[in-house]
Amino acid sequence: MFSSDCRDGACCADFRALLVAPLEPAMPTLAVYSRSDGIVDWRACLDPYAECVEIEGSHCGMAVNAQVYRELERLLERTEAATCSP
């Protein structure tokens, strides 16, 4: 278990900096959100560097939501096509 000394100390400084840094604009990124999410406010999921996609479903239901996996598939196909093209 992490102590608060590690979490708040110098050993995790790089990790904390990466958490608050913006995503690289060239990185393929998907932000999936639901306005009916009862746990996370959907507006907190809107990243300006991500492709934001609204789905219908609950917070816990996203892990088994077919729409989420279709969106991930689309992103992976686009990423693969971009990296494999001559």
70-86 pLDDT, tens per residue? 999 999 998 888 877 66
Give the DSSP letter string of 5-16.
Answer: HHHHSGGGHHHH
pLDDT number for residue 8: 75
Question: Does 17 score more than 60 pLDDT?
Answer: yes
pTM of structure = 0.70
**Rounded alpha-carbon distances, angstroms, from residue 78 to 12, 70, 71, 86:** 34, 12, 11, 14
Task: State pLDDT tens for residues 24-50.
Answer: 878 899 999 999 999 999 999 998 889
